[in-house]
Amino acid sequence: MLNILLDTDALVALTKKGDSNRRKAISIHQKLKENDVQFFLSPFTTAETVTVLSYKLSHEEAKKFLIEARKTDLPILSLEDNSPNIADQWFFKQNKKGTSYFDCYNMALLERYKKQLNAIFSFDSVYKRNGFKTAEEII
């Protein structure tokens, strides 16, 4: 079984018909499902995705996504109370303008749960640049 952390950009690509990564996202998602995958979320992924969809599509589409997301009841991984600064440390390591703190939180999760998580389903280059595997690389 593959354990994959979901990132907002992959969820947006799977939801938004005009997204530049949509075809690739659907293909990767299908291959992951064929390989018996367990998806995980950070505590922020659903909220971030709903916000992005509200901006990029419509508030109605964002509400539909939220309803469906809540039905899936995917497991949520979070940093322990005594280690939230791990995400801060990942943020401080980055040098690019526009770095997402949520991506840094995901990298902290990937680091913290490295024995459990195989990869992240994302198209953001920040993960590869920091030595993490993406779902596309392992299928």
Mean residue pLDDT of the chain comes to 96
74 has pLDDT over 90: yes
Q: What is the pLDDT of residue 82?
A: 63
Domain membership flag for residue 85:
no
84 has pLDDT over 70: no
Domain membership flag for residue 20:
yes
Domain boundaries, position 24: 2-75+117-138
Q: What is the pLDDT of residue 116?
A: 97
Domain membership flag for residue 82:
no
Token pair in block for residue 20: 């530049």
24 and 123 Cβ atoms separated by less than 8 Å: yes
88 has pLDDT over 90: yes
Per the structure, the count of domains in the chain is 1
Q: Is the pTM of this model over 0.85?
A: yes
Identify residue 32 by its one-letter amino acid code.
L
Q: What is the pLDDT of residue 34?
A: 94
Domain membership flag for residue 122:
yes
21-67 confidence digits (pLDDT tens): 999 999 999 999 999 999 999 999 999 999 999 999 999 999 999 99
Domain membership flag for residue 132:
yes
Domain membership flag for residue 51:
yes
Q: What is the pLDDT of residue 83?
A: 73
DSSP string, 35-68: T-EEEEB-TTHHHHHHHHHHHHT-HHHHHHHHHH
81 has pLDDT over 80: no
Return the sign of the alpha-carbon dihedral for residues 126, 132, 138, 139.
negative
Cα-to-chain-centroid distance, residue 114: 15
